[in-house]
Structure 1
Amino acid sequence: MRPAPVLLPLLLLAMPFTGLALEAPRDPSPVQSAPVEGVAPQPEPVDAEDAHDHEHQDEGEGEDAAAPVPATDDPDGGDATGSRVPMAEIQRYVAVYRAIKEAYVDPVDDRFLMQSAIEGLLMDLDPHSAYLDRDEAETFDEQTSGAYEGIGVELLQQQDRTLKIVAPIDGTPAARAGVLAGDVIVAIDGKPIAQIEGSEPLRGPAGSKVSITIVREGRDRPFDLEIQRETIRVTSVRSRMLEPGYGYVRLSTFQADTGADFRKHVDELQAKAGGRLRGLVLDLRSNPGGLLTAAVQVADELLESGAIVSTRGRVPASDTRFDATGGDRLEGAPVVVLVDAGSASAAEVLAGALRDNERARVVGSRTFGKGSVQTLLPLGNGDSVKLTTARYYTPSGRSIQASGIVPDVELQPDPKLIGGTAPTGAPRTVTEATLPGHLRGEEEGEGYQPGSPLPGDAPITAALAELKKLAGVAAAPAAARRE
């Protein structure tokens, strides 16, 4: 295995944000204006991982730098005038602004109006484009270091301001309390989300307690959980032997050191197996994403050759491709990737790369479908705009967006572990495709079914059984050659 290539951390790569030019209106036909975004929810990361209220952002998300971005996400819809704002639209905005200032029932602060206008620019683009104030921008990179005080969840704020759980983080107070991917937080300490000020309502000093009210699919009514905050230090890689010769690696998120830690854990498992594993279960359940480059490094450790992922946007700087450098650390031993509805963004990139290259079988439930790339654009005042600039594509050329990764072997959740009372086949909504304003993907296809969270050890047992089948198939040709 050659040393992993040095890759820029796309998640946090940023560029200066330039001003928009103004143009006079043309003839009677309407002139398009370039949307500029800025309100923050989210993820991923988590994934992000938005200017919405959330504790930890997904970002899920591997992010790529880009030049100023035109009006739409259509890769073929480039417009040389896309960065121009028509004067007629500026005049319309000023007219509304003045009406509010002069006639609204109560006096309105100028800064409040301007902030609302900026946030409104981003609100209807997609759930992951957001405006980050100075404090939010400074905490945006925490998923790469994994240290903060809170309960340990990746959140996405929805349009009604409620907070959707992308995934609880392994070993954190939220995970221990039974929070699941897809849960929706509607109140904090008995106060409805809409009445809560501030962008980080779940954070607070370690040792303090917070009560959250959760709505869960399949439960008849909301329920409360009291959780004690801790200093969250995320360990992104854990491993153990499942049985002699069969290893297990859990990736809970993708941080700057995940690639190196993955190599270390695999080497330790190989040593325990006497030099070579017979197979590996790679657990990506409830992994909300993180640094794209970390997912690329893990894929590179398991691939001899082939594409890993590509991104495509409206401007050339958004177009990237990553390929394997050669050298399979497992020397061809079979791999089963375990996913569920909380597997998002970079986790989906990794699962798609291994499956498309016929290097692994995917087991679990359909993934989240967070297949878009965000770029952090710093503003001159310390604030930033988190803007969707591209989509992810697997090596086969398929977009992850909204459709997610469909497993080769589908598993069903244990009702006892998810606390649901809904019958089998009841609608499940843990998916990017259900988020208001999401970028369109391939989810409209007939028979589309969102995934479910898969907590507990039963999915690991099922993945091991599938791995043994693959190991048996892989061993047969070698046995035949010896004969």
Structure 2
Amino acid sequence: MKTEKTSVFLRPVLTAIFTLCFAFCILSLPSAFAQTVKSAQNTDNEKEVLSRQYIELLNSVYTFVLENYVDEVDPKILYEGALKGMMDAFGDPYTVYLGSAQMRDLNDTTTGDFGGVGLSITKPLETSAEKPAFVEVVSPIEDTPGWRAGIQAGDLILSIDGTSTAEITMEEVLKILRGPKGTSVNLLIRRGKTGEFPITLVRALIEVPTVKYGMINRGKQRTGYLRIIEFTPKTPDRVQEALDSFKKADFTSLIIDLRNNPGGLISSVADVADKFIDTGVIVSTKSRLMFENSVYRAKPRATVMPKDIPAVILINKGSASASEILAGALKDYHLAYLVGERTYGKGSVQQVVPLPNQDGIKLTMARYYTPTDSNIDKIGIPPDKEIALPVLTEAEEKAYAALITDDVISKYVSAHPNMNEADIAAYARTLQSTYNLELRLLRRLIKMQVNRTKPAELYDLDFDVQLQAALDIAADTNFAALVKSAKTLKELQESASEEQKISAADAKSGKKGR
């Protein structure tokens, strides 16, 4: 009994001694760290001194953990953990550590093709029981398995092959989504508040497209339809091909479709905007680093778009980054009218920095500003005319989920090959008796299944209410006055700021009154 009491007494003493030794080993290695920090606060090189001391301290902790952790440690684990923690500390979803696999994926995407399902995705940094960090679809890439399955911008991917996306990192998500061509991956999708349904996608070689175009003829209205899917080095040349084609067809109006365009190269979008803007700033980037401050200006000789041709831009919540630069620039110069929904709101510029070991980091280096010196980060660009796609009610979400889960459309289409428009319309009416959804949506889903092995249709006037509205606005005889009266982004942001001040003042006044 006496021995037991002695050992119980000694344990906290030994623990205290060890703790003191540990603190001494770690904190004394960067000699007199606290005093150095204190003195550094009174010098001009405070940040430089602190930076050096923190690096020494981190190195000391790294060495101590490596040599003293209860199990043998792989140095790579500590290295990756340190880099991930450093990048996550900013709370910036675009500043991240890129493992070697992610760097390979990024290189594949940049060069134009990669294996996967064709979804541009994002993921919150933090997860909680109240708000799980599920993967969100920014936009599906056209003509890919994800696009053909009907996955939409804003959909949440709850799980991949049974693994909850809230519990894994973005790198792990990408590893699971990518795989050999022809293999399948199972997703659980949530659309809206309650609509959940499984989707099986067969991985394919993803070729990153850039531009599609064609004419839409309605009576005397001859509209050039230009869909920019992503901004790559090839985009300016493809846009020029489209504009040349429209001129030969004597177009009377232009629609630029930027919906679900996740962005791309700033140099590419600047070259595209230069075809419309004859003088002035297209976009500027601002940073605390002098070499990251740049201004892209329009050159008169590059302008090819006639000023008297009405131009309408289609945008939605999947329009991000470079697509917002084009929409913002043409809006600020009153050269185009925006139709659709508010854009995503990514107003920052990142650089990918390769590391010697084939890893890398992606770091936000600057923010970009529109011609009126407006930044839209986390705000987005509102349309001049808001036209929202129909939103499913809670009952419709459940009906949609049941329709996808039951897989009745693919079975019917397989049994009835070569369906025409009349067949599609008839089957949609039959489906509606079981699944209470809009006929237009049902026709759309059937048509996508019928055309699953064909290139995507350039447009769908039957389903696309935003495109219908854009055509009507482009044909308006008062279009010039309409686009001129639209507020610039600067004016919109100033109005919003003033409204916030008034609301705050009213709220304060109301509290005093009580």
Whether these two folds match at TM > 0.5 is yes
| 2:88 matched residue in structure 1 | 123
Unaligned runs of 5+ in 1: 1-21, 33-77, 423-454, 476-483
| 1:228 matched residue in structure 2 | 202
| 1:134 matched residue in structure 2 | 100
In 2, the alpha carbon distance for the partners of 1:229 and 1:252 equals 20
In 1, the alpha carbon distance for the partners of 2:378 and 2:389 equals 21
In 2, the alpha carbon distance for the partners of 1:154 and 1:263 equals 26
Structure 2 counterparts to residues 197-208 of structure 1, below 5 A: 197=172, 199-208=174-183
Q: CA RMSD in A?
A: 3.1
Amino acid at match of 1:467: A
| 2:330 matched residue in structure 1 | 354
In 2, the alpha carbon distance for the partners of 1:340 and 1:418 equals 22
Q: Secondary structure at the match of 2:329?
A: helix
| 2:142 matched residue in structure 1 | 170
1:319-372: CA deviations, max 9, x gaps? 011011125322111211110000000000010010011111111111111111
In 1, the alpha carbon distance for the partners of 2:110 and 2:284 equals 21
The answer to whether the 8 A contact 2:342-2:380 is kept is yes
| 2:244 matched residue in structure 1 | 267
Structure 2 counterparts to residues 450-465 of structure 1, below 5 A: 456-465=463-472
In 1, the alpha carbon distance for the partners of 2:375 and 2:244 equals 33
In 2, the alpha carbon distance for the partners of 1:418 and 1:169 equals 27
In 2, the alpha carbon distance for the partners of 1:81 and 1:242 equals 60
| 2:303 matched residue in structure 1 | 328
Shift, 1:262, TM fit: 0.5
Shift, 1:373, TM fit: 0.5
Shift, 1:200, TM fit: 2.5
Question: Which is greater in Rg?
Answer: 2
Q: Tell me whether 192-201 or 308-317 shows the greater mean CA deviation.
A: 192-201
1:226-282: CA deviations, max 9, x gaps? 111111112211112122421110011111100000000111122122xxx221010
| 1:237 matched residue in structure 2 | 211
Q: Secondary structure at the match of 2:175?
A: coil
Structure 2 counterparts to residues 382-397 of structure 1, below 5 A: 382-397=358-373
Amino acid at match of 1:257: K
The answer to whether the 8 A contact 1:296-1:308 is kept is yes
Structure 2 counterparts to residues 32-431 of structure 1, below 5 A: 81=47, 85-88=51-54, 90-91=56-57, 94-95=60-61, 98=64, 102=68, 107-125=72-90, 126-159=92-125, 160=127, 162-193=134-165, 194=167, 197=172, 199-216=174-191, 218-220=192-194, 222-243=196-217, 244-273=221-250, 277-326=251-300, 327-332=302-307, 333-415=309-391, 421=397
- Cα 1:257–1:471 change in 2 (3 A) is farther
Bigger fraction of residues in helix = 2
Shift, 1:29, TM fit: 3.8
Q: Secondary structure at the match of 2:275?
A: helix
Shift, 1:88, TM fit: 4.9
Q: Secondary structure at the match of 2:153?
A: coil
TM-score by length of 1: 0.70
- Cα 1:195–1:328 change in 2 (3 A) is closer
Q: Secondary structure at the match of 1:85?
A: helix
- Cα 1:195–1:365 change in 2 (3 A) is closer
In 2, the alpha carbon distance for the partners of 1:324 and 1:417 equals 46
In 2, the alpha carbon distance for the partners of 1:212 and 1:83 equals 50
Q: Secondary structure at the match of 2:272?
A: helix
The answer to whether the 8 A contact 1:249-1:281 is kept is yes
- Cα 1:404–1:31 change in 2 (3 A) is farther
Amino acid at match of 1:139: D
In 1, the alpha carbon distance for the partners of 2:49 and 2:315 equals 40
- Cα 1:361–1:380 change in 2 (3 A) is same
TM-score by length of 2: 0.66
| 2:505 matched residue in structure 1 | none
Amino acid at match of 2:277: L
| 1:427 matched residue in structure 2 | none
In 2, the alpha carbon distance for the partners of 1:175 and 1:315 equals 39
In 1, the alpha carbon distance for the partners of 2:145 and 2:211 equals 18
Q: Tell me whether 250-259 or 413-422 shows the greater mean CA deviation.
A: 413-422
- Cα 1:400–1:145 change in 2 (3 A) is same
The answer to whether the 8 A contact 1:311-1:393 is kept is yes
In 2, the alpha carbon distance for the partners of 1:420 and 1:392 equals 40
Amino acid at match of 1:236: T
Amino acid at match of 2:312: V
Q: Secondary structure at the match of 2:274?
A: helix
Q: Secondary structure at the match of 1:469?
A: coil
Unaligned runs of 5+ in 2: 1-29, 128-132, 399-459, 483-514
Shift, 1:380, TM fit: 1.9
Q: Secondary structure at the match of 1:285?
A: coil
In 1, the alpha carbon distance for the partners of 2:356 and 2:138 equals 31
In 2, the alpha carbon distance for the partners of 1:28 and 1:170 equals 54
In 2, the alpha carbon distance for the partners of 1:270 and 1:118 equals 52
The answer to whether the 8 A contact 1:31-1:86 is kept is no
1:70-98: CA deviations, max 9, x gaps? xxxxxxxx988469624256426744773
In 1, the alpha carbon distance for the partners of 2:64 and 2:260 equals 47
Amino acid at match of 1:231: L
Amino acid at match of 2:368: Y
| 2:475 matched residue in structure 1 | 468
The answer to whether the 8 A contact 1:287-1:347 is kept is yes
